[in-house]
Each structure stands twice: as structure tokens, then as C-alpha cells.
């Protein structure tokens, strides 16, 4: 999973390329590189410094030639080959006259590599990508021009790709193509752009087009020529860009994660906006699936990865309670390889902030193949999942750059619960006044979230007492259980501490053996139907010496009595409480990451969007 950018028609494209690579770092940042055509040659620089590769690359390009033609840049999250400068993109052919960048995986690279090496090509990296540039070299040596050779190369490879390739012999041209991974194109006056996604182009152009699977684009200054891989002309789909550059920057916060946590009330408020008709009924205009189709639904699957999966797990409780439909939640990478029982009356909901996560998009493809109606909850307008689904419901959280999902996770919970209420309205399982009452409670959430966020210093104080701890259990029951899973994930990915999320009632079936002095138990003890049982489970771990931190409703002295530290939150109704309860856990993970010296925006080994299996 990588970020790619290309530009032709700019006399000095390097600053633009480097700026775009900064915008794309959330796709991966273990190495970065750039190549451009100048003076009839390819000039290239690459850096691989774990978390600061783009900054290192900027230093390496200080003496790059100016007045160049086409240029391409890449920020990498390694799959094949270690994150070293040799494995960083762009890759060049044996002659050094071609350079190529790639996002995705070439599955048949070993056989292709063996064949190329046997025919005299010299490989200089351990990547799957490099075979592509050597294949283009082979086909150009046989007489094809850059475009035709790229087409022939794509006929030989198997797998997922967004690519861009430049050639010293065609200095103003970039040839790009995609299959299964994203690629957008842009135009402005005499310039043409390509990028793996929209934020890299914000600030340069708002005329943006989506390249579809198995399409190829030839970019020349001010022109885009799009065809199928076979060469049939295509008119690319123009996308609507509503974000501005300011929205994608840090806005005065020390890091994206702090900024995005602070934006959570707004993200939820915006996701709730304009959902009620004149008569108070719930309206979901963008859904694209009719009420009649939804009335036929007799089963719901919600499928996602990571934090999006935890949002789905909260929604299960709400949907089963409100809609009375069997609702299964599943991890996308498991769902797509088992035999889920799905028919044409199943609604399959894919939840993905990015709308590009490969596991989730492939799971949706499978659900569609099995006959389900597919609905996607995504934050990115016109993301590939959003475009391919039968219907879409957008979270309106704005761009989320921090690798750890915060505002999008909470907006997902709210969006899925809105969907639950909409289904309840259609299926007649809740009355209009009941739905109105829940929506009124939802409208209160942004204010409660702001109040919760304002208690950051109290969370910091608790965190400062836990700096020696290495083992954490996060426990919850009912909707507190997915909150516990999310709290544990945040702590793992940000502070690199061992953290298990458990259903509290399950602890006595084994894991309680791990409880001893020094272990920290973080319990979600806000009032839900299982609150009393939750306190009993907490008493069990407290008596075995664990340090207990509880998330509890303001003034709940019974909960405080079994805790060493309390993270107080304002109460709300149980099914909405995760939107509040997750916040102190995000803050706890953030503070512990900082106390351990880790940058929350750059967790090791991670990337924002996972477009590989
Ligand atoms: O873009 P998606 O919502 O599909 O991403 C899913 C997960 O990769 C994501 O939530 C991941 O778990 C985050 N790092 C969690 O903070």
C-alpha cells in the first residue's frame, strides 16, 4: 500500500511532488522516491528512513535538475522487499531510460523475474514491482512505444496495480493504469496530474477524474487520454471535491491525531445533519437503495476491519434491538474466505473510512456476487467502494490523516445507528415518536463529546501513573465490549503496549489466570443493561491485584468504589454510549504513546489505508 503522484506540464514539478508525497504519507512512509525527465535523461532520488523518508527525500533532491518535463513520486509501505533505498520506487530498467512507480502487488512476479533474468535483465531490487519496468523495456526494444509497451506489460502481469511510468524518450508523457487499487487523474491549464487519491491533488486542481479498473491513461501537458487496457476510448468519471487543503492540514495541533480527536463533535454533528424530513421522519437521500428493497431484507451482515469493525460491532447491538433483524458482524479478511449464508434478501454493509481497504472491498465484491444488496459506509466521497456498491451512506468527518482512526470511528458508529433507525422505520419495528426520541438523544452527542474531550488533563494524570505498566486488559459488556476492543487497539497501535480487549464475562473462562499485580484492567462501566455484572467482573480482577481504571458515568460512586482511577464521562443512553466512552480511551492511548516517546501520527509498521491482503 503506497501513495503515488505524477505531474507533467509543470516547469518545476519537484516541490509539487514532494508536497503531495507529504499529503500521501498516511498510505505508507517507510521509503519515498522521485524520478523526472530532464535533459533527455531520467533523474532519480530515493530515501528509506522508516518514518521520515519524505523529509529525507527532500534533502536528496536539493541538487535535482530544474526545467524538467514529466515527474513521478512514490511513498511506500513495504510488501515485497525490505524498506531499503534499493527497494524504494521509482524502479528503472536496465538502460535507465524508464522509471515506474506502483501501488499493489504483482502475484506472478517470481516467474516473470526468472524469465527476465534468463534473458539478460539485471534486477536491482527485491520488489515485485521491478519486473514491470523491465517488461516495458523488453517490449520497447521490440518496437512498441511507451503506451503500447505498457499495455503489453499489463497483459503479462497478474495482481493489483496502480502504476505510472515515464520514459526519457517521451519526456512529457506519463502512462498510468489501474486494477483493484485507486488512481485519480487531474487537469489544470497546461498541466496533467495523477495520484493514488484526492488529498494529494487538493490545492492544485479541482478538476479530478477517477480511473476505473483496467483503464489506462496517457497524460501529456494539459491533456488526459483514457482508454481501456485494450485501447477503446473511455470518458473518465469526473469527481466532486468538497475538501480544501486547510481541512487536510493540522490546524495548529501538534499532530493529526490531536486535531482529529478535537474534530470529533463536529464529525458526529455533520454526520447527523439533514437526516429528518418535514414530518420528522428519517430520510437518507444518498442511500441509492429504495425503501421497497430494504423492506425485503431479512438479514444484515456488517463487515469491516480494525476500528471500522469495532464500529460495526456496536451497531449489531443497536440493529438487533431496534430492527429485530438477525445481524452478523464479521472481519472482512475472514468473511470473504468462508461461506457466508447470503441471499438476495441479505443486506451486506461494508464499513470503511477510506473506502479503499482491500479486504473490505473484496468482501463486498463477494457479497455482491452472492446476490446481497451491498451498502457501503465510507468517509471518502467517490471512494472505490462507494462507487461500486448498490448504496452508500457517508460519514461526513472530513479527511482523516492520523493513522489511528478517531473521528471516523465515532462517525461510523453514528452513521450505522442512523442506518439502524432507518431500517426500523421501514420495517415498522419502532414508532415515529420512538425514532424521534433516539434522534433527539443523538443530537445531544456533540455537546457531550465536547465535554468529554475537555477532561483531557484528568486522563493525562491517570496515564502518568501507568507509565511502568506493560500489560493491559480492556473489559466491557454489551456495547462496552466493542468499546473495550477499540481501547485495546488504540493502545497497541499507538503506545506499543500489550493490550487485550475482552468481553468481561469471558474473563473467568481462562484469561483471568493472567491477572496479577502490575496488570492494568481498563473497564467500561458506564450504565448499560449489564452494568451490575460488569462491576462484579471488575471486583474479581481488583481482588487479584490488578490496577483498575474505570470509564464511568459522572457521579457513579458505586463504580468508583471498585476502581483505582476513574475516567468520568457524561451519561447518555446505553446504545449511544460508545460514542462518548471511546474518547477517554483514545486520550489514554495518545498520552501513553507520548509518554513512551512515540509519535502518534506515525505508528511503526502501520499505514493508514491497507490495500493489500
Ligand atoms: O479505511 P478503513 O476504515 O477500511 O480501515 C480499516 C482499518 O485498517 C483501520 O480502522 C485501522 O484499524 C486503524 N489503524 C485503527 O486505528
The reply to whether 254 falls in a domain is no
- Ligand 1 touching residue 357 (CB < 6 A): yes
Identify whether residues 391 and 278 lie together within a single domain: yes
Beta 207-210 vs 184-188: how paired, if at all? antiparallel
The pLDDT assigned to 245 comes to 66
Residues 271 and 293 placed together within one structural domain of the fold: yes
Rounded to whole angstroms, the Cα distance separating 377 from 322 reads 19
Mean per-residue pLDDT over the chain, rounded: 93
Range of the structural domain that residue 212 is part of: 3-249
**C-alpha span between 469 and 78 (Å, rounded):** 31
Same domain, 109 and 217: yes
Give 10-residue mean pLDDT values along the chain (613 residues).
90 92 79 94 90 84 87 86 89 98 89 97 95 98 97 94 97 95 92 90 90 96 96 91 66 86 92 84 88 96 98 98 97 93 96 94 95 94 86 88 95 98 97 95 97 98 98 97 98 97 94 94 95 94 95 96 97 97 98 97 86 78
Percent of the chain with pLDDT over 90: 77
Say whether both 488 and 363 belong to one domain: no
User: How far is ligand 1, taken at its centre, from the CA of residue 124, in Å?
Assistant: 33
Whole-number pLDDT of residue 199:
78
Non-local CB neighbours of 306 within 8 Å, separated by 6+ positions: 405, 489
Same domain, 407 and 464: no
- How far away, in angstroms, is 528 Cα from ligand 1 center? 27
User: How many angstroms separate the CA atoms of 3 and 102, rounded?
Assistant: 9
CA distance 500 to 472: 6
Co-location of 421 and 464 in the same domain: no
Picking from 326, 427, 308, the residue whose alpha carbon sits closest to that of residue 376 is: 308
Q: Which residue has the cell 477517554?
A: 584
pLDDT tens, position by position, 537-562: 999 999 999 999 999 999 999 999 99
In this structure, the chain runs to a length of 613
- Quote the DSSP letter at residue 143: T
Residues 454, 358 within the same domain: no
Q: Do 420 and 435 form a contact (C-beta atoms < 8 A)?
A: no
- Domain assignment present for residue 608? The answer is no
Element (H, E) at 59: helix 53-60
Residue 606, in any domain of the structure? no
- The CB of 306 under 6 Å from ligand 1? The reply is yes
Cα–Cα distance measured from residue 458 to residue 443, given in angstroms and rounded to the nearest whole number = 26
Q: What distance separates the 2 farthest-apart alpha carbons in the chain?
A: 81
608 tagged catalytic: yes
Q: Are residues 535 and 590 in the same domain?
A: yes
Which residues 6+ apart lie within 8 Å of 468 measured at CB?
Answer: none
Q: Do 353 and 456 lie in a common domain? A: no
As a whole number of angstroms, the distance between CA 303 and CA 290 comes to 21
Contact (Cβ atoms closer than 8 angstroms) between residue 253 and residue 259: yes
Of 426, 443, 460, the residue that ends a domain is 443
Residue nearest to atom 16 of ligand 1 (CA): 404
- Beta-bridged to residue 159, according to DSSP, are 106
9 touches ligand 1 (CB under 6 Å): no
Q: Kindly tell me the sign of the dihedral angle through the C-alpha atoms of 136, 141, 146, 149.
A: negative
Q: What is the pLDDT of residues 190-204, one digit of tens each?
A: 999 999 888 788 889
pLDDT of residue 251: 61
Domain count along the chain? 3
362 and 244 part of one domain: no
- Of the residues 249, 269, 294, which one is the last residue of a structural domain? 249
CATH number (domain holding residue 530): 3.40.50.10490
Measured distance CA(115)–CA(157) in Å, rounded: 13
**Considering the domain boundaries, does residue 46 fall inside one?**
yes
Instruction: Report yes or no on 413 lying in a domain.
Output: yes
- Which H/E stretch holds residue 549? strand 547-553
Q: Are residues 218 and 320 in the same domain?
A: no
Which pLDDT does position 407 carry in this prediction?
A: 96
Residue 70 lies in a domain: yes
Task: Mark which of 443, 475, 506 sits at the end of a domain.
Answer: 443
Amino acid at each position: 500500500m503506497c501513495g503515488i503522484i505524477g505531474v507533467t506540464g509543470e516547469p518545476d514539478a519537484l516541490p509539487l511532488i514532494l508536497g503531495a508525497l507529504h499529503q500521501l504519507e498516511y498510505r505508507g512512509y517507510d521509503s519515498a522516491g522521485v524520478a523526472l525527465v530532464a535533459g533527455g535523461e531520467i533523474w532519480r532520488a530515493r530515501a528509506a528512513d522508516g518514518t521520515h523518508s519524505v523529509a529525507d527525500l527532500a534533502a536528496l533532491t536539493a541538487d535535482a535538475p530544474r526545467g524538467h518535463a514529466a515527474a513521478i513520486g512514490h511513498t511506500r509501505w513495504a510488501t515485497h522487499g525490505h524498506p531499503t533505498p534499493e527497494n524504494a520506487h521509482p524502479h528503472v530498467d536496465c538502460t535507465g531510460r524508464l522509471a515506474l512507480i506502483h501501488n499493489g502487488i504483482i502475484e506472478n512476479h517470481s516467474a516473470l523475474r526468472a524469465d527476465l533474468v534468463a534473458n539478460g535483465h539485471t534486477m536491482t531490487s527485491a520488489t515485485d514491482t521491478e519486473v514491470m519496468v523491465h517488461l516495458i523495456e523488453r517490449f520497447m526494444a521490440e518496437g512498441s512505444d511507451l503506451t503500447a509497451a505498457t499495455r503489453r506489460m499489463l497483459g503479462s502481469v497478474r495482481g493489483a496495480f496502480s502504476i505510472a511510468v515515464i520514459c526519457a524518450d517521451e519526456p512529457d508523457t506519463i502512462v498510468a493504469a489501474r486494477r483493484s487499487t485507486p488512481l485519480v487523474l487531474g487537469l489544470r491549464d497546461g498541466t496533467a496530474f495523477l495520484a493514488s487519491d484526492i488529498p494529494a491533488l487538493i490545492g492544485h486542481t479541482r478538476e479530478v477524474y477517477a480511473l476505473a479498473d483496467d483503464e489506462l491513461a496517457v497524460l501529456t501537458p494539459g491533456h488526459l487520454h483514457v482508454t481501456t487496457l485494450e485501447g477503446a476510448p473511455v470518458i473518465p468519471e469526473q469527481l466532486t471535491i468538497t475538501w480544501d487543503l486547510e481541512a487536510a492540514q493540522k490546524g495548529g495541533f501538534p499532530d493529526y491525531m490531536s486535531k482529529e480527536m478535537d474534530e470529533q463533535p463536529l464529525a458526529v454533528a455533520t454526520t447527523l445533519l439533514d437526516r429528518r424530513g418535514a414530518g420528522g421522519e428519517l430520510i437518507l437521500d444518498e442511500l441509492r437503495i429504495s425503501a421497497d428493497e430494504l423492506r425485503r431484507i431479512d438479514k444484515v451482515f456488517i463487515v469491516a476491519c480494525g476500528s471500522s469493525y469495532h464500529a460495526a460491532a456496536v451497531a449489531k447491538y443497536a440493529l438487533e434491538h431496534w430492527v429485530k433483524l438477525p445481524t452478523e458482524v464479521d472481519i472482512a479478511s475472514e468473511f470473504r474466505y468462508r461461506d457466508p449464508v447470503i441471499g438476495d434478501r441479505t443486506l451486506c454493509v461494508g464499513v470503511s473510512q477510506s473506502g479503499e481497504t482491500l479486504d473490505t472491498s473484496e468482501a463486498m465484491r463477494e457479497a455482491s456476487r452472492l446476490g446481497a444488496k451491498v451498502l457501503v459506509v465510507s468517509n471518502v466521497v467517490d471512494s472505490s467502494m462507494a462507487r461500486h456498491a448498490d448504496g452508500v451512506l457517508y460519514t461526513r468527518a472530513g479527511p482523516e490523516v492520523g493513522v489511528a482512526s478517531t473521528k471516523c470511528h465515532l462517525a461510523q458508529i453514528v452513521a450505522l445507528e442512523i442506518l439502524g433507525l432507518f431500517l426500523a422505520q421501514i420495517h415498522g419495528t419502532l414508532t415515529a415518536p420512538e425514532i424521534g426520541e433516539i434522534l433527539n438523544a443523538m443530537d445531544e452527542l456533540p455537546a457531550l463529546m465536547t465535554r468529554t474531550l475537555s477532561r483531557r488533563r484528568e486522563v493525562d494524570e491517570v496515564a502518568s501513573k501507568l507509565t511502568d505498566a506493560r500489560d493491559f486488559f480492556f473489559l466491557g459488556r454489551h456495547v462496552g465490549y466493542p468499546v473495550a476492543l477499540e481501547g485495546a487497539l488504540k493502545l497497541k497501535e499507538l503506545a506499543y503496549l500489550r493490550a487485550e480487549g475482552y468481553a468481561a464475562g469471558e474473563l473467568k473462562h481462562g484469561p483471568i489466570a493472567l491477572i496479577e499485580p502490575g496488570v492494568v484492567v481498563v473497564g467500561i462501566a458506564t450504565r448499560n443493561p449489564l452494568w451490575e455484572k460488569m462491576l462484579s467482573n471488575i471486583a474479581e480482577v481488583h481482588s487479584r491485584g490488578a490496577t483498575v481504571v474505570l470509564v464511568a458515568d459522572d457521579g457513579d460512586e458505586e463504580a468508583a468504589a471498585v476502581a483505582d482511577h476513574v475516567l468520568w464521562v457524561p451519561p447518555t443512553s446505553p446504545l449511544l454510549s460508545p460514542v462518548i466512552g471511546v474518547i477517554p480511551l483514545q486520550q489514554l492511548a495518545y498520552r501513553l504513546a507520548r509518554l513512551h516517546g512515540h509519535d502518534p501520527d506515525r505508528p511503526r509498521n502501520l499505514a493508514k489505508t491497507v490495500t493489500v491482503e
